[in-house]
Chains A and B, each alone.
Chain A
Amino acid sequence: MRASGEQAEGVAISDAVAVERTLAGEREAYRVLVERHSAYVYRLAYRMTGNKEDAEEVVQEAFLRAYQKLQQFAGNANFGTWVYRIAANYAIDRLRQRKNEDSRREQPARVAEGEPETDPLSEVKDARPSPERLAGSAQLAARMKEALDTLTPAERTAIVMRHWDGCGIEEIAAVLKSNTSAAKNTVFRAVQKLRLALKPFVEPRGAARAVGTES
């Protein structure tokens, strides 16, 4: 079996050196970057797409795109962050495309050109099982998976980047191609929808109160 890029090097080289060598035509140097950052990008991709096959496809495409655009990569930036962003951009495009295809298949009459992303909240409500049926963390995880699937691509991207990866609002805004205030709202909207979808499970009946009221 062939040794990995880093093992073959003997001493691990930095991302910056690997980028430089790749740009100088040493294709094998790119292997170091791929091996070093794949798992991290995979976690993002899995959380965004919700399944292994799509996640793996996103990872591959992200590294292919990063290689093609490597000349645009500023040497002082962090390669990991950069390829993460490429993956997030690709994943969100994929999610949008899939949502469009799904809604075209399911509700051809409702989908018109330029129509905004449909609010899946109603579907969550309709599909909500009773609290009794939801018991144990496996069901909670399954319910959360369903709830995540009903988010719009932008909401899903925003919550994944913010909650799991601790990305700054500016970074999220860049991927969503929006401003920071809109990005912040998108994260909040995602949280609201997830909370509503999980309510029967994580909140006892009658526990929620009308917020913003006088105490």
Chain B
Amino acid sequence: MKHATEEELFAYRDGDAKGRQAMAAHLKECAECRAELSRLEEVFAALDAMPVPDPGEDYGTRVWRQIAPRLPEKRAKWWEAFLVPQRLAVAGAVAALVIAAFLAGRITVVDGPERAAADPSTVGERVLVVAVGQHLGKSEMVLVELSNAQPASGQKLINIAAEQRRAESLVEENRLYRQTAVQSGDRAIASTLDELERVLLDVANSPGEVTPAQFESIQKRIAERGILLKVRVVRQELRTAETGRKSQPAQTDSTAKERNKV
């Protein structure tokens, strides 16, 4: 019978089921192939003999000490970040004051049709509208700056490090808003945020300095997706929605209204 190839012997050694029985039978009969298999085995024995330095028993603790200062605060669920009192500190002092005052005002209204307004989902929606609007504004600025920039003729490298860093910080924010929009079933916003995320990622993953050709390609990608227009449309819609809400008084309790002005 033909001797086994190196690949067949390796596959057998590796536990490959294909042709296993036939190979086992052949190896029983063929001393040469057995010797070849044992030579192959020596490679694995040599690999096993490779030492890995012991990092020490406290290695895990050392890793923790090194990375702990670099770990960003984890935000829990979007709504919790704004609604749960202990999370208010994380969400930021200003936002905390505004939301707490807003909630306090709502909670004082017990009866009447306005009670629905105290529903956290309504509150969350309103906060989301404002937050997404601001996020879109910041993203729009980055994209406009990139789209409108015109490198000087003969310029070999264009520095976009500032835009790249801003895009990087907006990506994570964008992801949170997109997920929230998906969860609350707002497909239009989710879709725009999804497209925006791709563009932001594009910019965030670019080098800090790009050649004119690379820069042109970034501008082209922004233009091709028509993302600036989409962002502007959504921002406008959000503004309209927010204005609509403001023009319809949500409650009759004057004290609550006063508190909500904070």
A31-67 to B contact mask, C-beta < 8 Å, 1/0: 1001111110011001100001000100110011001
- The complex places the Cα of A192 from the Cα of B52 at a distance, in Å, of 23
- Chain A residues within 8 Å of B9, by CB: 211
- Chain B residues within 8 Å of A68, by CB: 72
Contact A34 B63 (CB under 8 A): yes
Contact A212 B5 (CB under 8 A): yes
- Chain A residues within 8 Å of B64, by CB: 4-5, 31, 34-35, 38
Contact of A202 among B33, B35, B46, B51 (CB under 8 A): B46
B17 at the interface (CB under 8 A from A): no
B7 at the interface (CB under 8 A from A): yes
A163-B44, A195-B40 known; A47+B2 contact, CB < 8 A: no
A186-215 to B contact mask, C-beta < 8 Å, 1/0: 011001101100100011000111011111
Q: Which residue of A lies closest to B40 (CB)?
A: A195
- Chain B residues within 8 Å of A140, by CB: 46, 49
| Interface magnitude class on chain A | 35 or more
B25 at the interface (CB under 8 A from A): no
A84 at the interface (CB under 8 A from B): no
- Chain A residues within 8 Å of B53, by CB: 46, 52
- The complex places the Cα of A5 from the Cα of B75 at a distance, in Å, of 21
Q: Which residue of B lies closest to A30 (CB)?
A: B71
- Chain B residues within 8 Å of A42, by CB: 52, 55, 59
Interface centre among B35, B59, B75, B87 (most CB of A within 10 A): B59
- Chain B residues within 8 Å of A12, by CB: none
- Chain A residues within 8 Å of B46, by CB: 140-141, 144, 194, 198, 202
Contact A63 B63 (CB under 8 A): yes
> Would you give the shortest CB distance from B4 to chain A, in whole angstroms?
7
Contact A214 B40 (CB under 8 A): no
- Chain A residues within 8 Å of B14, by CB: 162, 187
- The complex places the Cα of A39 from the Cα of B90 at a distance, in Å, of 33
- Chain B residues within 8 Å of A192, by CB: 6
- The complex places the Cα of A214 from the Cα of B2 at a distance, in Å, of 4
- Chain A residues within 8 Å of B32, by CB: 209, 215
Q: Which of A19-27, A93-101, A116-124 contacts B (4 or more CB under 8 A)?
A: A19-27
Q: Which residue of A lies closest to B90 (CB)?
A: A25
Contact B63 A25 (CB under 8 A): no
Interface centre among B36, B55, B87 (most CB of A within 10 A): B55
Contact B4 A212 (CB under 8 A): yes
A residues bordering B, Cβ < 8 Å?
A: 4-5, 22-25, 27, 30-31, 34-39, 42-43, 46-47, 52, 56, 59-60, 63-64, 67-68, 70, 137, 140-141, 144-145, 148, 159, 162-164, 187-188, 191-192, 194-195, 198, 202-203, 207-209, 211-215
5 contacts between A and B (CB under 8 A): A42-B55, A188-B10, A207-B35, A209-B36, A215-B30
